[in-house]
Structure 1
């Protein structure tokens, strides 16, 4: 009658003898829940074990420990009275240790189980239903990934002499997924034959959920780093570059994951004075070495692909709870297009100013209200100084000036017109020359009107 464990042997005996748990409880002088617990492999005190075995008319050692224990006892030398007392003391200690161990595992919310590799049956501790979150008849097989493997593979997995670790998931009676970590090893009998796998399982759902949340956050952060339109560098506490996002790769035409001493491989010149940056001048280097949080600084760089670009760079150190520098991050913003536009604007303004600086003809610029905004230097020199702003009638014949203003007033919005007036006289001179007018109102905010003539 070789069975898997104490609980199974007890249930078989009750069935064979047609006994109820209530009858057993009454005979042993205990409660029905206690008997029910024994049928599930629960702990049993020594005195109760002896009373139970006597009532069932079986050997108490066999009832508790099975055939192998009986075989071991039969092969031992005959005992005298003192040896029997000593053996009883040892058995009591074993039972007490088992009880303490079971209580400790339950307090730690750890399930202990045994898997009979020959029959495939699994016996779990009483707390299994609570921790797995399922009814007793729905208990999962704690060795789920390996249940269909042949014995040879089970020996390879669990028989290495070291406990084998793995994770598995269980869907509880509420439809929720719970994760468990298991640790088990194979047990052999005296003849070195594989008998059972003994293991423990503990709930790691919270850890798995935290790992999942962390992985999700890391994924989101990586996506942000990958798509953000800013170059992002990261270095460790020694200054070695550990991260360069795709925008960095674009700006610099690649990236070199070098240490502080090799930062000079990155070429740049200060926008403010044109001087070349040294290895220690980059804001990332200053953040790591000096703990400096820098303000935006403009640098013209030569990228690894040969392109000339202009960037804004700034950095900040990363510190731990003890305020120790553990790394730094630097941000690069590509402002090449903005700088090129700025340079083009400066060139355009210089060219525009040249129109007013030349000596060949006079130029008058009118503002939105058709008041004089600017006159060329040559015309300005020929006019008498005036306390208030010049009016068009101050420079041209009043009738001609009024004619110009009237024509401009009739101009439709978003139109460009040009016209000329022949034989106009210029105030303060004896000249009578054609006057040319250009008016551009295609830009809503800043219409432009120019009046020019030869002097």
Structure 2
């Protein structure tokens, strides 16, 4: 069973982290500590697979805690992910890496990013454990055979060439005096080319200075070291290796140089880069979407909004479920006020429902009123467990204003048509009256002519 340790002086943060982690990793044990020292003590007793470490803590900050963890042989291989409220602080990230951290997350914690980081750290821890197990086994075998054969060089070389580790040794002059066959096959170079400081020719130019400095500094203080750098592979590409060096002493305790065990960790580095690229792409898409998008965890807490969503609401209210009352809106066309527990997101979190195209008039936090289409949907993991929810806001204020303008113009046009129709009817009636009067006059004239004609005929 995997173990996760969260260290944060804010109990609310620990509660939220534990909820997310238990939901995402139900088979993992999650431990929490409110202080740096209690966190170190828990790490020693529980030996977690991942440590989530807050930076800003009283007495002992996250950087000091990390340095203490990395100095302890029992804890140094546990990946540490720093948590900070200072989003995008480059100096904080650099300091975190210098302290020995493997990851970095900004508060408010983005749940998918947290889960992805923890999964990546599990893989790194597993690789570290495998490396440690292999190294321990190899060291034990070497020690046993060395005692049996009184440091037989032949046996050592046979053993060194039998595994996948890339092994080297150096003398008291810091010059390398041996490379095993896997190393030579890996680099595609001869023993003569690698001996002395010839091996540095294969180190990537950007890694060379740090690589040599790490080796020399450890050598001068007779300390173990572990470093990562790129080495030119026989395929023509540079590949990442992890180089763990250990001082060597003879049976009399006299220092005789160093031995190093290296592993090809290119696949881990590629996975880390892919994770970074995926995170970058996700964040870019999130920021560039022209509609409002909000993320909520499985408790209903709003954790993040994209720029379009923040513009719609005039703020980024990352609030828990219980504080939905700060949002003010009315359903259209009824004008019904929305209660705090009647928001679409509330129903999605409580009931797992998807709610589409809810027409609302909202009161934004900057004082503006807007009309939006509101959409909410739950997000589930592969096991059907709710990870959280998304909220989509489509601002249709201008569209509605255009519709209102069209309706207004239509009404005005209908009034004008009615007026013109009435005027036309009046003109037609007037013409009809004139026509009737004209016909009546003509009939009377005809009657007069007929009467005159009759009188004329009578006289004759």
Give the TM-score taking structure 2 as reference length: 0.53
Residue in 1 that maps onto 2:272? 211
Q: 1:99 and 1:134 mapped to 2: Cα distance?
A: 18
Q: 1:136 and 1:280 mapped to 2: Cα distance?
A: 73
Tell whether 2:170 aligns with 1:111: no
Q: 1:431 and 1:200 mapped to 2: Cα distance?
A: 118
Q: Unpaired runs of 5+ in structure 1?
A: 1-64, 70-86, 364-375, 383-423, 433-455
Residue in 2 that maps onto 1:362? 420
Question: Could you tell me which of 347, 350, 372 is aligned with 1:311?
Answer: 372
SS in 1 for 2:240: strand
Tell whether 2:402 aligns with 1:341: yes
Q: 2:187 and 2:258 mapped to 1: Cα distance?
A: 19
Q: 1:150 and 1:88 mapped to 2: Cα distance?
A: 27
Question: Could you tell me which of 152, 166, 171 is aligned with 2:227?
Answer: 166
Question: Could you tell me which of 91, 104, 108 is aligned with 2:148?
Answer: 91
Structure with a larger share of its residues in helix: 2
Residues 402-441 of structure 1 mapped to structure 2, 5 A cutoff: 429-430=432-433
Q: 2:275 and 2:214 mapped to 1: Cα distance?
A: 34
With over 3 angstroms needed to count, the CA separation of the structure-2 counterparts of 1:270 and 1:204, relative to structure 1, is same
TM-aligned CA deviation for residue 333 of structure 1? 1.0
TM-aligned CA deviation for residue 193 of structure 1? 6.8
Residue in 2 that maps onto 1:120? 175
Q: 2:229 and 2:168 mapped to 1: Cα distance?
A: 15
Checking the alignment, whether the CA contact within 8 Å between 2:145 and 2:155 is kept in structure 1 is no
Q: 2:433 and 2:172 mapped to 1: Cα distance?
A: 122
Checking the alignment, whether the CA contact within 8 Å between 1:146 and 1:154 is kept in structure 2 is no
Residue in 2 that maps onto 1:220? 281
SS in 2 for 1:131: helix
Checking the alignment, whether the CA contact within 8 Å between 1:189 and 1:195 is kept in structure 2 is yes
TM-aligned CA deviation for residue 132 of structure 1? 3.7
With over 3 angstroms needed to count, the CA separation of the structure-2 counterparts of 1:132 and 1:285, relative to structure 1, is farther
**Pair member with larger Rg:** 1
Question: Could you tell me which of 241, 259, 264 is aligned with 2:320?
Answer: 259
Checking the alignment, whether the CA contact within 8 Å between 2:298 and 2:388 is kept in structure 1 is yes
With over 3 angstroms needed to count, the CA separation of the structure-2 counterparts of 1:319 and 1:88, relative to structure 1, is closer
Aligned length: 283
Give the TM-score taking structure 1 as reference length: 0.53
Checking the alignment, whether the CA contact within 8 Å between 1:134 and 1:172 is kept in structure 2 is no
Deviations, residues 114-145 of structure 1 (Å, cap 9, x unaligned):
33353322532221123345554555348953
TM-aligned CA deviation for residue 334 of structure 1? 0.9
Residue in 1 that maps onto 2:354? 293
SS in 1 for 2:341: coil
Tell whether 2:305 aligns with 1:244: yes
With over 3 angstroms needed to count, the CA separation of the structure-2 counterparts of 1:324 and 1:133, relative to structure 1, is farther
Tell whether 2:129 aligns with 1:129: no
TM-aligned CA deviation for residue 251 of structure 1? 0.9
